[in-house]
């Protein structure tokens, strides 16, 4: 089973419309919520008048922070993550009451018989705003005298830190060559198919609150509600039903996640809120702008000696995710290369825009883009082939495990556990026909076509701990059920865990029921983030299933009067090798369920189940190479992807088909970041791209058929040898695409230093390049 292209067990229900998403949950007395949101990026709130809204038939309540306070321990969500670099703790407000700090920040909530009525009542809530000057551009907001994003704050600097090792100044002093770049990197929204949503029901008789939420982390949401609502842990249950994609923003707890449960408790009726797409644009966390000033020093052969620079990160209005995103960007810059010395100064700047948290890749695409841009700049300056410069700097396979002199977020050294980076690049180049591309390019040029090829490498730390939970149980009917704190969000998690469990217990994956993301079934769990669940939940499942297997064999040996080493598990039965003698798992489970007055067989503990919370010792590192060919229309600035080759190494593959989907999906995200997706704000902090006519996603005609290849370097750091795969496809995509665009436009000596590369931006570069080549220009 392990390593097989097994069809996803989740799909039949989803394909037949039998999925159960948050919006599918309904109760006869359900109330619907709609939020009153700030129309201004920054303003004082002078007062809120509910009168007109409450007079609308079908409206049951309009709640403000004053109404919620008696039921909460704090006005703010307790989401802070520890970091010595953070100077200001800016936890999001449950509801704004005296100041709003971004367009869309919730100020009040309307509860009505239908969403239609609630929406009609929202504009009837009269809020008296006193506008304040907004902080919009992170670079300007960092300067003395800039408008302050939060009144009373000393400045807009949320955090500052230095990521460094080695003597970088000495490296530059000894360098044969240096290159310098200024980059503006923009990354947009998550935009899963299903927006956010919450349903809450409070049972006053049992004093129990049940919350259904489209979240990546139900146990984290549970912990936040326990702290906020001052309720015992066993009085709150959080369930993540089917989740239509996460990509990072559903990792976070939001004001709506707290307001809806509190409203259900106050009104004594179930409450539902389903985010619409405009709300997603306005209020769901996103990534945004990073400004890089970066320089590299090399020896005469183009080998890196050192890199130094500064990174300014637009942090948005609040801090629901700490300082992790820019830290990931700065540490991931190193990638698969030997870098003797490094120093990056990081500044996290508060602005009056929606808070920033990770979107698939979590800062790593930006760090990779910076390094790969440096590699292309070195090649250009030294007149070397771009792939050759990378080859000279790649970490050799015989140096694995390789420790970078930096620490990961958890404080552990960054140690690349396994992989062959030069072989990965070589295989990708061969698959893409890199060696013959110069001839292809020349032929295209004779036909008036501009084509180019680009390459990018990456490394990603995956499998972040500290643990994940798994409980494997065989019931007296012989059915295998496993429970986990891991969370499914469309990535095929249940299939992967079922495969691991089935391989140990000698059943088919279809015979394993996986229950994920329900705090009532397992007390501990962390959920989906950081490409972690195959490593953490996968190995916990393996350990628990192996323990159940060993116990089943021990009991069967007693029942069959056979030696354990003579037994095997297959087809749901424990069999004696070479004999027509066996016992089913159902009978074994019945035997250890106990019979009054009789001893359990074999002296085992009751029940045929085991629990594991496997703890990874540190991160495990996947890697890959993307090689992309593009055609650029010199008259419109449009970019067409002609071919896309990926060689990906995420250790042992549980299900190659699922990994293919994850890598292709990630690369599609990367195409969007490179060419299409821009979440824009004007000079007043107003979002200007709030629908899919203004904010562009790559669609079917824009996405090529990916040529996917897998290498497998098993990790020595976990029993299964697996690594994460969910984000890797997104990390090098923009870098490879931009490298290809520059190659296509090499005669014009164009340098691309801003993402996304939209047609108007690229056309401006093309025209400037042509103008510079004219005589006397």
539 and 669 in a single domain? The answer is no
Rg of the chain in Å (alpha carbons): 28
SS3 per-residue string spanning 551-601? HHHHHHHHHHCCCHHHEEEECCEEEECCCCCEEEHHHHHHHHHCCCCCCCH
The answer as to whether 166 is a domain residue is: no
Whether 319 and 89 have beta carbons less than 8 Å apart is answered as: yes
The CATH number of whichever domain residue 506 belongs to comes to 3.30.365.10
pLDDT tens string 618-662: 999 999 999 999 999 999 999 999 999 999 999 999 999 999 999
pLDDT tens for residues 682-736?
999 999 999 999 999 999 999 999 999 999 999 999 999 999 999 999 999 999 9
Domain boundary among 241, 274, 307: 274
Using the predicted structure, report yes or no on whether residue 409 has a pLDDT greater than 80.
Answer: no
With tokens 């619907």, the residue in question is: 32
What gap in Å lies between CA 651 and CA 656, rounded to an integer? 11
Q: Is the pLDDT of residue 292 over 60?
A: yes
What would the pLDDT profile of 254-270 be if each residue is shown by its tens digit? 999 999 999 999 999 99
Q: Mean pLDDT over residues 512-533, rounded?
A: 95
Q: What is the distance, to the nearest Å, from the Cα of residue 645 to the centroid of all Cα atoms in its chain?
A: 23
**392, 293: one domain:** yes
Judge contact between 775 and 692, C-beta under 8 A.
no
* pLDDT on residue 577: 94
In percent, the amount of the chain with pLDDT more than 70 equals 100
- Give residue 597's pLDDT: 77
- Of 57, 64, 63, nearest in space to 117 by CA: 57
Cα dihedral: 507, 513, 515, 516 (round 10):
60
Residue 602 scores a pLDDT above 80:
no
Direct distance between the N- and C-terminal alpha carbons of the chain, in angstroms, rounded to an integer: 66
Give exposure, 707-720, as e/b (b: 16+ Cβ within 10 Å).
Answer: ebbbbbbebebbeb
Instruction: Say if residues 734 and 674 touch (Cβ distance below 8 Å).
Output: yes
Q: If you ran DSSP here, which 8-state letter would residue 233 be given?
A: G
Coil, strand or helix: which one is 238? strand
Question: For residue 777, what pLDDT band results from cuts at 50, 70 and 90?
Answer: low
**34 and 125 share a domain?**
yes
Q: Are residues 483 and 622 in the same domain?
A: no
Note whether residue 128 is domain-resident. yes
* Cβ proximity of 452 and 441 under 8 Å: yes
Q: How many CB atoms lie within 10 A of CB 174?
A: 12
In which residue are the tokens 């047609």 written? Answer: 759
Reported pTM: 0.96
Q: Which of 487, 485, 493, 494 is nearest to 523 (CA)?
A: 485
> DSSP secondary structure string, 589-646?
HHHHH--TT-PPGGGPPSSSEEEEEE--SS-EEEEEEEEEEEEE-TTT--EEEEEEEE
Within 13 Å of residue 670, how many CA atoms lie on the same side as its CB?
Answer: 34
Residue 159 lies in a domain: no
Q: Output the pLDDT for position 470.
A: 98
- The verdict on 558 and 414 lying in the same domain is no
Residues 505 and 545 in one domain: yes
Burial 128-142 (b: 16+ CB within 10 A, else e): ebeebebbbbbeebb
Structural element, H or E, at residue 264:
helix 255-267
What total number of domains does the chain contain?
3
Question: Is the residue at 143 inside a domain?
Answer: no
Last residue of a domain, one of 558, 580, 614: 614
- Is residue 532 very low, low, confident or very high in pLDDT (cuts 50, 70, 90)? very high
Whether omega for the bond prior to residue 503 falls within 30 degrees of 0, making it cis, is no
Closest CA to 408 of 572, 532, 258: 532
Give 190-219 pLDDT, tens digit per residue.
Answer: 999 999 999 999 999 999 999 999 999 999
DSSP class of residue 395 equals P
430-464 per-position pLDDT tens digit? 999 999 999 999 999 999 999 999 999 999 999 99
Q: What share of the chain is helix, strand, coil (3-state, %, to 5)?
A: 35, 25, 40
* Same structural domain, 388 and 449: yes
CA separation for the pair 476, 495 (Å, rounded): 23
In a domain, 186, yes or no: no
CB 147 within 8 A of CB 134: yes
Q: Are 417 and 379 contained in the same domain?
A: yes
448, two tokens: 């008036």
Q: Are 431 and 333 part of one and the same domain?
A: yes
The token duo for 576 is 């004696």
- Note every long-range contact of 508-515, with CB atoms under 8 Å and residues 24 or more positions apart, other chains counting: 508/1, 509/1, 509/6, 509/9, 510/9, 511/479, 511/480, 511/572, 512/9, 512/480, 512/481, 512/482, 513/479, 513/480, 513/481, 513/482, 514/9, 514/481, 514/482, 514/484, 515/481, 515/482, 515/483, 515/484
Joined tokens for residue 678: 């821009």
Q: Look at residue 660 in the predicted model and tell me its pLDDT.
A: 96
H-helix or E-strand containing 31?
Answer: strand 31-37
SS3 at position 404 = strand
Q: Report the share of the chain in percent with pLDDT over 90.
A: 93
User: What per-residue confidence (pLDDT) applies to 451?
Assistant: 98
Per-residue confidence (pLDDT) for residue 421, from 0 to 100: 98
Q: Is 241 inside any structural domain? A: yes
Task: Provide the pLDDT for residue 318.
Answer: 95
In 10 A of CB 311, how many CB atoms? Answer: 27
* Angle at CA of residue 414, ends 412 and 416, nearest 5°: 130
Where are the extended beta strands (E) located within 331-374? Answer: 342-350
Q: In what order do the strands lie in the sheet with 99-100?
A: 99-100, 43-49, 126-131
Task: Among 593, 614, 635, identify where a domain stops.
Answer: 614
CATH code: domain of residue 211:
3.90.1170.50
Instruction: Answer yes or no: do 232 and 321 share one domain.
Output: no
Mean pLDDT of the chain: 95
Q: Is 240 exposed, middle or buried (0-12, 13-18, 19+ CB in 10 A)?
A: buried
pLDDT confidence of residue 320: 83
In a domain, 760, yes or no: yes
> Using CA atoms, how far apart are residues 429 and 394, in angstroms rounded to an integer?
15
Per-residue pLDDT band at 86 (split at 50, 70, 90):
confident
Res 245: pLDDT: 95
Beta bridge partners of 162: 345
φ/ψ of residue 153, rounded to 5: -75, 150
d(CA 728, CA 706): 14
Check whether residue 301 and residue 410 sit in a common domain.
yes
pLDDT band at 321 (very low <50, low <70, confident <90, very high): confident
pLDDT band at 126 (very low <50, low <70, confident <90, very high): very high
Would you state the torsion angle of the CA atoms of residues 323, 329, 332, 333, taken in this order, to the nearest 10 degrees? -140
Is 266 in the same domain as 203?
Answer: yes
Residue 189 domain-assigned (yes or no): no
Say if residues 198 and 212 touch (Cβ distance below 8 Å).
yes
Structural domain that includes position 384: 289-464+617-773
């Amino acid at each position: 089973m392990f390593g097989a292209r097994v069809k996803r067990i989740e799909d039949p229900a989803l394909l037949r419309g039998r999925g159960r998403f948050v919006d599918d949950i309904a109760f006869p007395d359900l109330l619907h919520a709609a939020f009153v949101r700030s129309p201004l990026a920054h303003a004082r709130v002078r007062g809120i008048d509910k009168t007109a809204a409450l007079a609308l038939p079908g409206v049951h309540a309009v709640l403000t922070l004053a109404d919620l306070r008696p039921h909460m321990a704090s006005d703010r969500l307790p989401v802070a993550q520890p970091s010595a670099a953070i100077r200001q703790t800016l936890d999001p407000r449950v509801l704004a009451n005296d100041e709003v700090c971004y367009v869309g920040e919730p100020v009040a909530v309307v509860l009505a018989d239908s969403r239609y009525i609630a929406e009609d009542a929202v504009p009837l809530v009269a809020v008296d705003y006193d506008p304040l000057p907004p902080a919009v551009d992170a670079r300007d907001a960092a300067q003395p005298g800039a408008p302050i994003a939060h009144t009373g704050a000393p400045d807009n600097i949320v955090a500052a830190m230095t990521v460094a090792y080695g003597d970088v100044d000495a490296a530059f002093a000894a360098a044969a060559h240096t290159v310098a770049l200024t980059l503006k990197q923009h990354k947009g929204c998550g935009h899963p198919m299903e927006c956010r949503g919450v349903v809450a029901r409070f049972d006053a008789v049992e004093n129990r609150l049940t919350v259904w939420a489209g979240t990546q982390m139900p146990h984290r949401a549970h912990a936040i509600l326990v702290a906020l609502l001052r309720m015992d842990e066993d009085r709150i249950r959080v369930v993540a039903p089917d989740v239509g994609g996460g990509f990072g923003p559903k990792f976070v707890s939001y004001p709506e996640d707290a307001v809806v449960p509190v409203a259900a408790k106050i009104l004594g009726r179930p409450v539902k809120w389903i985010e619409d797409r405009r709300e997603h644009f306005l209020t769901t966390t996103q990534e945004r702008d990073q400004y890089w000033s970066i320089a590299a020093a090399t020896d005469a052969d183009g080998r890196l000696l050192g890199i130094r620079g500064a990174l300014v990160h637009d942090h948005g209005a609040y801090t629901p995710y700490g300082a992790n995103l820019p830290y990931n960007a700065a540490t991931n810059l190193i990638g698969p290369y030997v870098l003797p010395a490094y120093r990056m100064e990081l500044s996290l700047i508060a602005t009056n825009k929606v808070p920033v948290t990770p979107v698939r890749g979590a800062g790593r695409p930006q760090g990779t883009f910076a390094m790969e841009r440096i590699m292309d700049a070195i090649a250009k300056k030294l007149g070397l082939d771009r792939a050759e410069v990378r080859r000279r700097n790649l970490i050799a396979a015989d140096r694995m495990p390789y420790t970078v002199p930096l620490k990961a977020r958890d404080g552990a050294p960054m140690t690349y556990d396994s992989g062959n980076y030069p072989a990965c690049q070589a295989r990708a180049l061969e698959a893409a026909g890199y060696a013959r591309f110069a001839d292809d390019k020349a032929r295209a040029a004779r036909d008036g076509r501009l084509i180019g090829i680009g390459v990018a490498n990456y490394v990603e730390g995956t499998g972040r701990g500290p643990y994940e939970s798994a409980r494997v149980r065989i019931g007296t009917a012989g059915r295998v059920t496993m429970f986990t704190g891991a969370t499914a969000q469309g990535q095929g998690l249940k299939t992967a865990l079922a495969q691991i469990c089935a391989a140990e217990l000698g059943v088919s994956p279809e015979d394993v029921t996986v229950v994920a993301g329900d705090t009532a079934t397992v007390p501990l769990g962390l959920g989906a983030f950081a490409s972690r669940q195959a490593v953490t939940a996968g190995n916990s499942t393996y350990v628990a299933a192996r323990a159940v297997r060993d116990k089943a064999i021990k009991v069967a040996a007693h029942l069959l009067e056979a030696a354990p080493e003579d037994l095997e598990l297959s087809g749901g039965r424990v069999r004696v090798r070479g004999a027509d003698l066996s016992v089913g798992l159902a009978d074994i489970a019945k035997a250890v369920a106990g019979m009054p007055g009789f001893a359990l067989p074999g002296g085992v503990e009751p029940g045929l189940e085991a629990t594991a919370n496997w703890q990874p010792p540190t991160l495990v590192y996947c890697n890959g190479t993307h090689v992309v060919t593009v055609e650029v229309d010199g008259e419109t600035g449009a970019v067409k992807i002609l071919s896309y080759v990926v060689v990906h190494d995420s250790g042992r593959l549980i299900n190659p088909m699922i990994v293919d989907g994850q890598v292709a999906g990630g690369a599609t995200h990367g195409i969007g970041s490179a060419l299409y997706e821009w979440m824009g704000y004007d000079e007043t902090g107003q979002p200007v791209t709030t629908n899919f006519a203004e904010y562009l996603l790559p669609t079917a005609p824009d996405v090529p058929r990916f040529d996917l290849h897998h290498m497998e370097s098993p990790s020595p750091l976990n029993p299964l040898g697996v690594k994460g795969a969910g984000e890797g496809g997104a990390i090098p995509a923009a870098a490879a695409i931009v490298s290809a665009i520059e190659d296509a436009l090499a005669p014009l000596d164009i340098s691309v230093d801003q993402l996304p590369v939209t047609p108007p931006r690229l056309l401006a570069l093309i025209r400037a390049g042509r103008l510079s080549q004219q005589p006397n220009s």
